[in-house]
């Protein structure tokens, strides 16, 4: 899942992004409100973490513009992250459509827990665990198990598999997978997806009894399917 972190404090942004990437999330950062607004106008994110005191455009204005856009982007969950502790500003942010509010200073563990809760809410309560064959993904722990054992994955392998299993049977284009796996600032081209698909396939093929295959649909993309063990 791809998250937009809007934070102008470099050191704080570094540690927040690291914590989220360690939780197998793809993180992009905008250091000012204008850049954030431009990204939210053209890109889709699973979640936005939004500071309020930003250069070039205030965070509340970024939020207001986001909620005024098309339904697909207007429904993106937003977690406000700010040193502004006044009740009036918290109420204003929530009234503008923020989904949660975390005041600075904060513990990274609490931030991660709130992010996971918002992502679960976005996916729907029925999707706490995704399954295909003997592969399962726990959206709370954000862990894959395969044939009853934890499946070791790099962060980008994890991102590929998560996109394909939620829900299984849905075809995803190479372009869509690229958006899920790589941040805009990453130096990678579209063909890198084929490398990660290959790596994930090899790990799944080590346990043929798992009953899972990633199938290439020519001209369409990739789909995860159950197959006979």
Q: For 92-102, what is each residue's pLDDT tens digit? A: 888 888 999 99
Asked whether the beta carbons of 79 and 98 are under 8 A apart, the reply is: yes
Query: pLDDT digit string (tens) for 172-229?
Result: 999 989 988 887 767 788 889 999 999 999 999 999 899 999 999 988 999 999 886 6
Q: How far apart are CA 43 and CA 50, in angstroms?
A: 16
Query: pLDDT digit string (tens) for 6-64?
Result: 999 999 999 999 999 988 888 999 999 999 999 999 888 989 999 999 999 999 999 99
pLDDT at 122 over 90: no
Instruction: Give the per-residue pLDDT at 141.
Output: 79
pLDDT at 162 over 60: yes
Instruction: Give the per-residue pLDDT at 170.
Output: 83
**Topology of the domain comprising 2-123:** Rossmann fold (3.40.50)
Q: Tell me the pairing of strands 221-226 and 78-82.
A: unpaired
Instruction: Give the per-residue pLDDT at 127.
Output: 56
Q: How far apart are CA 229 and CA 218, in angstroms?
A: 24
Asked whether the beta carbons of 51 and 45 are under 8 A apart, the reply is: no
Q: How far apart are CA 133 and CA 211, in angstroms?
A: 5
Query: pLDDT digit string (tens) for 64-101?
Result: 999 988 666 778 999 998 887 667 777 788 888 899 99
Q: How far apart are CA 211 and CA 143, in angstroms?
A: 19
Instruction: Give the per-residue pLDDT at 92.
Output: 80
Asked whether the beta carbons of 180 and 197 are under 8 A apart, the reply is: no
- Decide if domain 126-226 falls under CATH 1.10.10.10: yes
CA-based R_g, the chain, Å: 18
CA distances from 8 to 29, 33, 62, 105 (A): 9, 9, 14, 15
Instruction: Give the per-residue pLDDT at 180.
Output: 84
Q: How far apart are CA 206 and CA 79, in angstroms?
A: 40
Token match 């369409």: residue? 220
Q: Which segments of the chain belong to CATH 3.40.50.2300?
A: 2-123
CA 93, distance to chain mean position in Å, is: 22
- Among left, alpha and beta (phi > 0; psi -120 to 50; other), residue 98 is beta
CA 62, distance to chain mean position in Å, is: 19
Instruction: Give the per-residue pLDDT at 125.
Output: 47
DSSP 83-101: S---HHHHHHHHHTT-SEE
Average pLDDT over residues 131-146: 88
């Amino acid at each position: 899942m791809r998250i937009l972190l809007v934070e102008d404090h470099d050191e704080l942004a570094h540690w927040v992004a690291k914590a989220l990437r360690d939780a197998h999330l793809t993180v992009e950062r905008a250091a000012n409100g204008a850049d954030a607004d431009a990204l939210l106008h053209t890109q889709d994110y699973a979640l936005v973490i939004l500071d309020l005191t930003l250069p070039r455009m205030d965070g509340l204005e970024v939020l207001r513009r986001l909620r005024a856009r098309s339904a697909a982007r207007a429904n993106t969950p937003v977690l406000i992250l700010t040193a502004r502790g006044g009740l009036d500003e918290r109420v204003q942010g929530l009234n503008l459509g923020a989904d949660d509010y975390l005041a600075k200073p904060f513990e990274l563990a609490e931030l991660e827990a709130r992010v996971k809760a918002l992502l679960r809410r976005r996916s729907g309560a029925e999707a706490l665990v995704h399954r295909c064959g003997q592969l399962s993904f726990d959206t709370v722990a954000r862990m894959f198990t395969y044939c009853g054992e934890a499946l070791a994955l790099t962060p980008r392998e994890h991102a590929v598999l998560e996109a394909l299993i939620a829900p299984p049977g849905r075809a995803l284009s190479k372009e869509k997978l690229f958006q899920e796996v790589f941040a805009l600032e990453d130096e990678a081209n579209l063909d890198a997806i084929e490398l990660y698909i290959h790596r994930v396939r090899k790990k799944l093929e080590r346990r043929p009894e798992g009953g899972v295959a990633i199938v290439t649909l020519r001209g369409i993309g990739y789909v995860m399917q159950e197959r006979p063990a």
